[in-house]
Structure 1
Amino acid sequence: MTSLRTRALLAFTGVLALSAGAGAAEKLIETVPGPDFNVGGTPVIQNVAFTTDQPVTGVGFTARWTAVVADNENGIAPWSLDLGVRVTAPDGAMTPLWKPIGGDVTIADYPLQDYRAGMFESVDGQGEFEWRFTSIGPPWVAGLRNVQYHLTTTVPDVVEVTNGSTLEGPTWNRPFFIAGISGLGPVVYQVRPFRVSVSGGYRFHSVVSNGNNFTFLYQGDFNAATPLANLLDYGLGNGNAPNGTPQGTSLIEAMLFEGVDYYFVNSQWDRFSPGTPYTNTITGPGELLPITTDCPGDANGDGVVDFADLSAVLSDFGQSGPDLPGDVNGDGEVNFADLSLVLANFGVDCN
């Protein structure tokens, strides 16, 4: 059952559009695990055998990047942004150089979980694909751990557009990079818990009309009190992002998997500037689904929906915010929707 502290704090104003279009989303079609390896001054080639019978148009890669030999005094090298790869299909078709795969301007460990669309026009997925990795070179050495290689195929886009605001809401001390917490808080945040209906590449594009923007993507769990735990990626929206987005625009692209809990967070930039309305456009091969508990309506987590749960809803009725026991549907507010959920499941024993 989803813990009370990770229940949804969702405060979006609503879904404006959800439609399948004729875009170029990338659906995951095969994953192959690989051994850990290091990349130094010499390119490293990994030959990976795939067996999919679907046409291949894109690639994905997941691993934990780590600095094996690094400038620990000044932190200037290597960086996860230095990692690049070129993939050659069994028929000899070759992708453009994919660099950076993802990462940060730091020697801190970084979770790479990325994809690149349109790398092939359409190639056969059966046979050995050559992955040629490069990094910054000597004397620095980068390491890749928990490696997985992915192939994807093009499917129609599924697009969701939502509006929200960081003008008010719960507050936290946001990260400012993958391993550091900003001193500009506390700031307002809004979080969207979700799962994906289809594994593949997802694009989170967030825009504010003025000022700076910052978004974060968490995997597995989210707790505002421990903002670095489970942080998968972030989108810097102050005009200095490595992916080149302008001020006010935040972009995260990640390979996401069915059955995994994710949390997308919009954050106020700093406590000295007011929060701002934002528009999120999320594009991928499938829909974003709500995270449901194993026992709907069970407010106290004892596995039974009974008078104790009804009492929790009535006690918190009309309140909004994080960690309210009566917020059984996880939308950040305790209202008739929560009451209805308890009554609809009253008497159910989930144990």
Structure 2
Amino acid sequence: MRIVCTVSNQRLAYRLPRLPANRCILGVCVLMHAALVAGTAFGAQKQVETIAGSDFNIAQTPVVQTVTGTTTEPITGVGFTAQWTAVVADNEDGLFPWSLDLGVNVTAPNGTDVVNWDPLGGDVTIADFPLQDFTDGLPSVSGVGDFSWQFTNLGVPSPWVSGLRNVSYHLLTTVPDVVEVINGSVATGPHWSRPYFIAGISGQGPVNYDVVRFEVSEAGGYTFLSVVPSGNNFNYIYQDSFDPSQPLNNLLDYGLGNGNAPNGTPVGTSLIEVLLQENTTYYYVTSQWAFFNPGQPFTTTITGPALITKLPFAQQDFDQDGDVDLTDYAVFTDCLAGPDGSPSPTIDDVDLAECLDHFDSDTDNDVDLADFADFQAAFTN
């Protein structure tokens, strides 16, 4: 179940959308959503069938797509992946259409059971958005037959048009939740300039970040719930690769822990709900909010149909982007002190402990030419 709450009754560019009459107030939504994430009775949603679809556009008239399922598994949820794009957009003010305006009703083959998915996902901008979302809400219906998907641009007036590209539909079944907790900190670490939405980079950096590189053994819906003791909390998921110097490349989804998230999370709590696929590498990034606010410890709870499989980084991969390149070499040379020398790095927020952790490969408490030989062997650029 996806609950979306807003606190404004006006539509403003890059702000929260209008508050429809059937939306709940922020505080109620946060309590409901926290209860659902902490222990939903529905369980995790495992993907059991994927059906490729055609590209299409949506204006002011709903668009219906018929999706034929063949799985014998009982279906309790659905997933949707596509690249959302603004075909005809308000490029002057950025008010219409937004990917967060996309709603869908999915009717099961029996013609009576319906999932009202409003909104499906997305962002509060006209920028392209890689939708990769899921929802539960079906009472174990048959997976054999035609599912009717009715897509609507919610409250989007003429002449604005949105489009969906590289479309796939997914059928899901309920399995027991599998929960994992990750504790970490962004008090120190490599630096980047974090995104603040799907197509924008914050000017409050550089800031520290932490990365978990992983795969999943079961495709399906996963939630990443991250909490910090105080202040704001930003989290991101990247697909296929992560380059901190190009923070918008391959950005799949993000969580706003600043109190302005469309999913209603309060300040300090970030929530990402995403449909993940097998045989794909993902990067989960936790970021310090701003350079003038100290980085904090965080606790991230990951819930899904299986545990994530963490993929280790090379020791010398200081920026945790999956390779050992010239960026890492710059930090290595800053830490290089010779035999029995104590590294005295000059790069901001790189300290003695990090020099030894990443570059003292022979564990003799210095960074010297012996360690450089190991760095050369690990170099991948």
Equivalent position to 2:262, from 219, 239, 242: 242
Aligned to 1:325: none
The amino acid of 2:242's aligned partner reads F
Q: How many residues align?
A: 292
Q: 1:137 to 1:292 in 2, by over 3 A?
A: same
- Whether 2:68 is the aligned partner of 1:35: answer no
CA distance in 2 between partners of 1:253 and 1:181 (Å):
22
The 2-side partners of 1:245 and 1:39 are apart by 29
The 5 Å alignment of 1:196-211 reads 196-211=216-231
Give me the whole-angstrom Cα distance separating, in 1, the residues matched to 2:113 and 2:106. Answer: 6
2:125 aligns with one of 106, 115, 118: 106
> Post-superposition, which runs of at least 4 consecutive aligned residues in structure 1 deviate over 3 A?
318-321, 332-339
Pick the aligned partner of 1:160 from 180, 183, 191: 180
User: Residue 137 of structure 1: CA displacement?
Assistant: 4.0
Instruction: Tell me the equivalent position of 1:170.
Output: 190
Unaligned stretches of 5+ in structure 1? 1-20, 294-298, 302-313, 322-331, 340-351
**Does the 8 A contact of 2:67 with 2:149 survive in 1?**
yes
Report 1 or 2 for greater relative contact order, CA contacts < 8 Å, sequence distance ≥ 6: 1
Q: Which one of 102, 105, 120 corresponds to residue 138 of structure 2?
A: 120
2:206 to 186, 189, 192: 186
Task: Confirm or deny: 8 A CA contact 1:34 1:147 kept in the other structure.
Answer: yes
- Alpha-carbon separation, structure 2, partners of 1:25 and 1:288: 14
Residues 22-56 of structure 1: CA distance to partner in whole angstroms, max 9, x if unpaired?
A: 86000000000100000111000000111000000
Report deviation, 1:101: 1.1
Paired position in structure 2 for 1:59: 78
Contact 2:107 2:115 in 1 (8 A): no
Equivalent residues of 2:45, 2:173 under 8 A apart: yes
Cα gap change, 1:292 to 1:192, in 2 (>3 Å):
closer
Q: Percent identity?
A: 58
Higher helix share: 2
Q: Is the 8 A contact 2:220 2:276 kept in 1?
A: yes
Residue pair 1:83, 1:133 contacting (<8 A) in 2 also = yes
Return the match for 2:148 from 119, 122, 130.
130
Q: Mind listing any 5+ residue stretches in structure 2 that lack a counterpart?
A: 1-39, 314-322, 326-337, 348-356, 365-381
Which secondary structure does the structure 2 equivalent of 1:57 belong to? Answer: strand
Contact 1:86 1:94 in 2 (8 A): no
Question: Offset of 1:232 from its aligned partner?
Answer: 0.2
Q: CA offsets per residue over residues 203-246 of structure 1, 9 Å max, x none?
A: 00000110000000000000111100000000000001011000
Give the distance between the partners of 2:49 and 2:261, measured in 1 at CA.
31
Tell me the TM-score normalised to structure 1 length.
0.78
Cα 1:266–1:128 change in 2 (3 A) is same
